[in-house]
């Protein structure tokens, strides 16, 4: 049985780099399945979605308000190149950043 150790970022950064032998062990390791983490079929894996997409139920009482917002020109240009609906995209980005969902 393996042991899990919690480490801080400082502790991780002080560790020596992995050897080629350690990298080979990791690369060739077989997955460990259990009742907590059962093996998933390819069909089941295709159905997985990020939590914020699976549970993104926007409150129907939310209304939109007009505001004045200054953005860096490179950000605005990138959003406009991505889609003509750049304002909707900004709202999606902010919703995900604030609430953790889309």
pLDDT tens per residue across span 47-101: 888 776 776 666 667 788 889 989 999 999 999 998 888 888 898 898 888 887 6
If we measure between CA atoms, which residue out of 101, 3, 6 comes closest to residue 52?
101
**Spatial contact of 52 and 102, defined as CB atoms under 8 Å apart:** yes
Token look-up 């699976």 returns: 54
Token look-up 């939109």 returns: 64
DSSP for 9-37 reads: HHHHHHSPPPPHHHHHHHHTPPP---SSS
Token look-up 């990791």 returns: 26
Average pLDDT over residues 16-24: 94
In sequence order, what E strands does the chain have? none
**Spatial contact of 101 and 56, defined as CB atoms under 8 Å apart:** yes
Residue 3, classified by CB atoms within 10 Å of its CB into exposed (0-12), middle (13-18) or buried (19+), is: exposed
Look up the pTM and report it.
0.40
């Amino acid at each position: 049985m393996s042991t899990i150790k919690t480490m801080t970022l400082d502790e991780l950064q002080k560790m020596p780099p992995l050897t080629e032998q350690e990298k080979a062990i990791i690369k060739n390791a077989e997955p460990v399945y259990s009742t907590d983490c059962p093996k998933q079929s390819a069909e089941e894996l295709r159905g997985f979605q990020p939590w914020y997409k699976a549970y993104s139920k926007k409150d129907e009482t939310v209304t939109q308000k007009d505001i004045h917002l200054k953005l860096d020109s490179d950000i605005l240009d990138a959003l406009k190149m991505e889609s003509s609906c750049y304002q909707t995209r900004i709202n999606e980005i902010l919703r995900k950043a604030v609430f953790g969902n889309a």
